[in-house]
Amino acid sequence: MQTQGDNVATGFAQTVDIRTLLDAIKGQRHAQHQLYQQFYGPVMRLAMAMMSNGEEAKDLVQDAFIKAFAQLANLQEPQRFGAWLKALTVNLALDRLRRQKKAQPLDDEFLVPDWDGGTQALASLADVEALLLTLGQLDRSLVWLHAVEGYEHSELAGLFAMKEAAVRQRYRRALAKLAQGAQKRGWQDAS
């Protein structure tokens, strides 16, 4: 079983130079800049997946790094910096989403019988990120955090203050909507 902090594919599991981390804790700008450059891509991908537009994503990235550097001295396990930064970014994004309260209403027309296999089908599409933008923020966040970042449905239920069954239902419906959108665009499975 993969845990939320172990996903190598998204870039958060990169090895961090401990000396750089210690220098960043001391407030040395060059070390902070080095960590920023190393983790900007993964943080931005996560922010783009969770926020509704590029400007909101950029703001989230900036806030995530500001908060990370301010709280860096509280990091208990330096070797897990990436997982810590990812959790911090997700929590900031969820706080913003809760404040916005812009959850898309569910639409019963989007049902798919095999929602477990939906993740594999989505992973092979040519432009998944563009397709994800067709979803509302909550549904896009659920799909991204589960399919890409490796969060379990039970973890997402806790993060979003929802019942696990509701998370699974929204996830299933979001995958169905994505599959329908891909079909409308004539996208073919790349495998």
Query: Average of pLDDT values for 7-19?
Result: 79
pLDDT surpassing 90 at residue 94: no
Read out DSSP for 39-102? HHHHHHHHHHHHSSSHHHHHHHHHHHHHHHHHHGGG-S-GGGHHHHHHHHHHHHHHHHHHHHT-
Whether the model clears a pTM of 0.75, i.e. scores above it, the answer is no
The helix (run of H) or strand (run of E) holding residue 139 is helix 137-143
Whether the per-residue pLDDT at 84 is higher than 90: the answer is: yes
How far apart CA 161 and CA 133 sit, in angstroms, is 23
CA neighbor of 75 nearest in space, from 112, 122, 20, 1: 20
| Whether 12 contacts 82, CB under 8 Å | yes
- The C-alpha atoms of residue 175 and residue 122 are separated, in whole angstroms, by 8
* Secondary-structure class of domain 8-100 per CATH: mainly alpha
Query: Could you tell me which of 138, 33, 15 has the C-alpha nearest to residue 81?
Result: 15
Q: Which part of the chain has CATH 1.10.1740.10? A: 8-100
CATH 1.10.10.10, the chain: domain bounds: 118-184
| Centroid of chain to Cα 7 | 11
Q: For the chain, what's the residue count? A: 191
What mean pLDDT comes out for the span 161-183? Answer: 87
Q: Which fold has domain 118-184?
A: Arc Repressor Mutant, subunit A (1.10.10)
Q: How much is the pLDDT for 9? A: 52
- Give how far Cα 26 sits from Cα of 36, 42, 65, 178, Å: 15, 24, 15, 45
pLDDT per residue over 47-59, tens digit each?
A: 988 887 888 899 9
pLDDT of 104 over the 60 cut: no
Give the relative orientation of helices 18-25 and 29-50 as an angle to the nearest 10 degrees.
100
